[in-house]
Structure 1
Amino acid sequence: MYNLKVKKLNDDAIIPNFAHKGDAGMDLYSIEEVVIPPGETKLIKTGICIELPTMTEAQVRPRSGLALKHSVTVLNTPGTIDEGYRGELKIILINHGKNDFKVEKAYENCSNDSKTYL
């Protein structure tokens, strides 16, 4: 495993972390409250940027509980973050449910899984 270089772009940003030993991905967090009405899509800001090692990509994947409990998922699953991208990580969430879904500040939206590619 390598050390992921992370830069906070916002004071409220939370550095990604593994919730449990052996987790495949690190949790990503929202820096703002956002309400996603049924059938709508919203862009969620994380307030961080990352620097990936050469020949790697990061993938943003939805949390299974988010989909099961609220019918909310990452629209472009998996969301690919290329090695050279240095902008803020943002998450595209869609609400397939029947009720508004509120993304709370510091809410765990999804996980970030880095992979080496050839």
Structure 2
Amino acid sequence: MKLYVEIIDNNAKLPSYAHDGDAGMDLYSTDEIIILPGERALIHTGIKIQLPPNTEAQIRPRSGLALKNGITLLNTPGTIDEGYRGEIGIIVINHGTEEFRVTRGMKIAQMVIKPVLRVEVEQVDYLNNSERGEGGFGSTGV
């Protein structure tokens, strides 16, 4: 399978896997911005993608940024649909206690390509029972 990438900013980098066996490709910032504690920002990557048929791209936070700086992504995982052809943008929030400086070329997020299953939707009068039933929101304990 191939992921086609169009570079739309001279500062952009192609998504890349850091290690063999990695699930996520690193995405890189083309912006220079400071995000204050509690603030969020849209970070540009300078790329557009064309996904393989029947796939989606999931945009996920980087664990090191989360642990060390309190930086994560809103709308996680973000879904990029197969037909989307706009620039990939990353919605970053600073949950840390200090300002966070985003620099050009910084690894800002990761992208995982996943298969998509499409289903037929059918309205029914009732659903089959299950062992779990309607239990949710902590129903199995802490």
TM-score bracket, normalised by the shorter chain, equals over 0.9
RMSD: 0.6
Cα displacement (A) at 1:54: 1.4
Q: Which stretches of structure 1, 4 residues or longer, exceed 4 Å deviation after superposition?
A: none
Q: Which residue of 1 aligns with 2:37?
A: 38
User: Counting strand residues as a fraction of each chain, which structure ranks higher?
Assistant: 1
* Structure 1 residues 57-104: Cα deviation after superposition (integer angstroms, max 9, x where no partner): 000000101000000101110010000000000000000011100011
Q: TM-score, normalised by structure 1?
A: 0.97
Q: Partners of 2:113 and 2:5 in 1: how far apart?
A: 13
Question: After the TM superposition, which residues 1-118 of structure 1 pair with which residues of structure 2 at under 5 Å, given as runs?
Answer: 2-118=1-117
The gaps in structure 1 that reach 5 residues or longer are none
Q: Partners of 1:46 and 1:34 in 2: how far apart?
A: 13
Q: Partners of 2:17 and 2:53 in 1: how far apart?
A: 22
The gaps in structure 2 that reach 5 residues or longer are 118-142
Which structure ranks higher in relative contact order (CA pairs < 8 Å, sequence separation ≥ 6)?
A: 1
* Kept after mapping to 1: 8 A contact 2:55/2:114: yes
Q: Partners of 1:108 and 1:41 in 2: how far apart?
A: 17
Q: TM-score, normalised by structure 2?
A: 0.81
